[in-house]
Chain A
Amino acid sequence: MILNNKNYPLSDLHAGDCAEITEFKDDENRQNFMQRLYEVGFLVGETLEVMHEAPLSLDPMSIRIKDAVYAIRREDAELIQVSSVVRKSKTKA
């Protein structure tokens, strides 16, 4: 089910959630990282799926985008805004 059409930071999502990238937050200190995100396929309009959260800490999380899976930390996932969140699991946001 689609939760609603609001924008969320990717860091609010949990394993099993799918969403679409809507925009990126600006962070002067993490520009290289943002570039790398683009390069591996994190671009506006792409859909992604949260695959796993690390045991106990729930951080980092693994994200499937395109045909690949990447691990990123929640503090960095915050830079990515997503919408149209589809939740498979029953847990609350």
Chain B
Amino acid sequence: MLPQDQTLHIALVGTPNAGKTALFNTLTASHQRVANYSGVTVESAEADFYLPSGTRATLVDLPGAYSLRPYTDDEGVLAHALKQNNFDALVIVVDATQPERAIRFLVEVLDATDRPAVVALNMADLAQARGFELDLKKLSARLGVPVISTVAVKKQGMLELPEAIESAMDSRRRVKGALLGKKKEHLTPKEVSHEILAFYKKADEILKEVLKKKGRPDTQSARIDYFVLHPVWGLFILMLMLGITFQLMFNLADYPMKFISQSFDSMGNYINAMHELPEMLRSFLADGVIAGVGGTLVFLPQIIILFSLILFLEDFGFMSRAVFLMDYWMGKVGLHGRAFLPLLSSYACNIPGILATRAIETRRDRIITTMIIPLTTCSARVPVYTLLIAAFIPNTNVFLGIKLQGLVMLGLYAVGALSAFIAGAVFQKFFLRGKRPPLLIELPSYKWPSLLSLGKGLVYRAELFVKRVGTVILALTVLIWVLVSFPKAPEGAPHPVEYSFAAKLGHAIEPVMRPLGFDWKISMAMIPTFAAREVMISALSTVYAVDDVDKSKKEEKLSELIKREWSLATGLSLLVWFIFAPQCISTLATVKRELQSNKWVVIMVSYLFVLAYAAAFLTHTIVTAIMGK
């Protein structure tokens, strides 16, 4: 028996669409963490499970790959991990409905490492239903490792797998690289294709021996594809899906959002009523911490709804079809079809969108996609838009019950999307010339996602967001509170905020902002929004000293107030500013980490700033010219 205090490190590897993540989620009951590996910029999830002897094992979910010759940053992780060879064991997940490809992958991976390994032949139920018959005993003998038939989404084989890992730990396998003899470090393309063919020859030999019966093609997926990829209905179905997704995101999220903001309000009121605490502390907790954190956490429902739909469509197999349908049109502005998913995710929050660009093959395309992601309307912009629209756009009936305010909101989304496409085209034309890399994407069989996998994927993304609230947003909130609270105004001053550090800063940058129609108060409220734009509302409330026990009343008051104080030109100019301005420190940090570059962060900030300044200036000038002062 292995000692109890030792934790084994087990790498989970596999081909794409083989159900690797489902297996990860089913096998590990415990909470998943983000794992970072030396020399690898891509982070993977890890979680613990126990072997039958009681030994604890940490399973690391490495990104799926077709081979050890990486084609994307994601795929490079597997090749790198195998090269380092510092895992105690490997679990290799392959798709039982594609025995040929499965065995090719297995032959190659098992040749690249001498670690103990276990094969999970996943989706065994689908393979059986389609009539595939494989001799697992023989396969196991030929590969020299245990082969377990699994159905991860139905928890089949989840007892056998840990047993097999345990028994494999004792066995010694042949030395790595045995199949092809000594390998050179750098191979010419011709040598590489010879290598590939040598692996496949070996794999096909094994396949011939173990495949007793070949299965039927997947007719069910073909039937669904008949509609989804239909020459006429295909694009229509895609647009309908997008429409439904955004409708649900806004309508369903309404109630939980109200609930969250009311909860934070009552928490703030509760603190304010605790007169035994010193006033300073009460103000810090209620106006600083609770108001700031609550103001951001309120977007959690929107993020959860958008991501549950995206994760569902992805696991179902629809997202790669969306890439198929959109690739040609996205190519018109130099984008790769694979940029579709990152861009869609960015509508909830830019950060997961930027992380999703890892699946894009070349650095050039990753950069272009990343650079335009901040132009998508993430949910942090919505409250600012809502406030400004409510204050400056009359809610008149335009046509058949369609209101002007709703149209303007839609317009802001459209301007964002349009400018993202234009920016993409400009980046490709002037900075990152060259052709799009070829498209090669699998359209996997459709399958019902497992609820467990969806749930865990969702929790993971929600955590990313909540963590940001707990760190960046919290720190900023405290900073804002300090800036507006100190130094203290003399007793009885009518506007205490005017004596603060924030006011001095506001006056300092006012000359720059004046051409856009922003006075020192707006300038001052804008300072913290460079780190997170959603704090604009609480910053404005503080600057204008708007206060009310009821939060919705407070926003109403603020809306009334800015309507009186600002001209229409200023309001619209600020609205336009928020479409473009680079205002999220977490996004910039993510860009830096993902692209491993300061240069592109500087370029991103500069181009967005110039764009925002120019657009706001034009808006202010034009509206002033039409409306008069």
Contacts and interface: CB of A to CB of B under 8 A. Distances in A.
User: Does B bind A?
Assistant: yes
Interface of A: 29-41, 43, 51-57, 59-60, 62, 64, 66-73, 75-76
Given A36-B71, A62-B443, A72-B440, A67 B100 contact: yes
A57 B435 CA distance: 19
A11 to B, nearest CB: 12
A38 B230 CA distance: 28
Interface in B60-77: 66-67, 69, 71
B324 A67 contact: no
B443 A70 contact: yes
Interface string B355-370: 0000000000000000
A59 B437 contact: no
B229 A60 contact: no
B410 interface: no
A53 B193 CA distance: 29
B101 interface: yes
Given A33-B440, A39-B67, A76-B439, A51 B225 contact: yes
Given A31-B189, A39-B66, A55-B235, A71 B196 contact: no
Contacts of A66: 98, 100-101
B200 interface: yes
Given A32-B71, A38-B197, A70-B443, 4 more contacts: A35-B192, A38-B196, A62-B225, A70-B441
Contacts of A57: 328-329
Given A33-B440, A70-B440, A62 B229 contact: yes
B320 interface: yes
A17 to B, nearest CB: 15
A32 B229 CA distance: 28
Contacts of B232: 55
A38 B222 CA distance: 24
B497 interface: no
A40 B439 CA distance: 13
B189 A36 contact: no
A43 B200 contact: yes
Nearest to B71: A36
B196 A35 contact: yes
A53 B234 CA distance: 10
B443 A39 contact: no
B231 interface: yes
B193 A35 contact: yes
A71 B189 contact: no
Chain B CB count within 10 A is highest, among A66, A67, A68, for A67
30 contacts: A29-B435, A35-B193, A35-B196, A36-B71, A41-B101, A43-B200, A52-B225, A52-B324, A54-B229, A54-B327, A55-B229, A55-B235, A59-B327, A62-B225, A62-B229, A62-B324, A64-B217, A66-B101, A67-B100, A68-B101, A68-B444, A70-B442, A70-B443, A71-B320, A71-B324, A71-B337, A71-B442, A71-B443, A75-B438, A76-B439
Contacts, number: 115
B228 to A, nearest CB: 9
5 tightest CB-CB pairs across the interface, nearest first? Answer: A57-B328, A55-B234, A76-B438, A33-B438, A52-B229
A50 B442 CA distance: 14
B417 interface: no
A67 B17 CA distance: 13
Nearest to B69: A35
Interface of B: 66-67, 69, 71, 97-101, 104, 189, 192-193, 196-197, 200, 215, 217-218, 221-222, 225, 229-232, 234-235, 320, 323-325, 327-329, 337, 435, 437-444
A76 B437 CA distance: 10
Contacts of A36: 66-67, 71, 440
A37 B443 contact: no
Contacts of A33: 437-438, 440
A62 B328 CA distance: 13
Contacts of B104: 39
Contacts of B327: 54, 59-60, 71, 73
B438 A72 contact: yes
Nearest to A28: B189
A43 to B, nearest CB: 7
Contact of B328 (A31, A35, A43, A60): A60
Nearest to A38: B196
B318 to A, nearest CB: 13
Contacts of B325: 54-55
Contacts of A64: 217
A71 B441 contact: yes
B15 to A, nearest CB: 10
A68 B69 CA distance: 20
A72 B442 CA distance: 9
Nearest to B331: A73
A79 B264 CA distance: 61
A50 to B, nearest CB: 12
Nearest to A69: B443
Contacts of B189: 31, 34-35
Contacts of B225: 51-52, 62
Contacts of B99: 67
A70 B221 CA distance: 13
B463 to A, nearest CB: 33
B98 A68 contact: yes
A72 B231 CA distance: 17
Nearest to A74: B328
Contact of A71 (B231, B437, B440): B440
Nearest to A52: B229
Contacts of B441: 70-71
A40 B101 contact: yes
B196 A39 contact: yes
Contacts of A31: 189
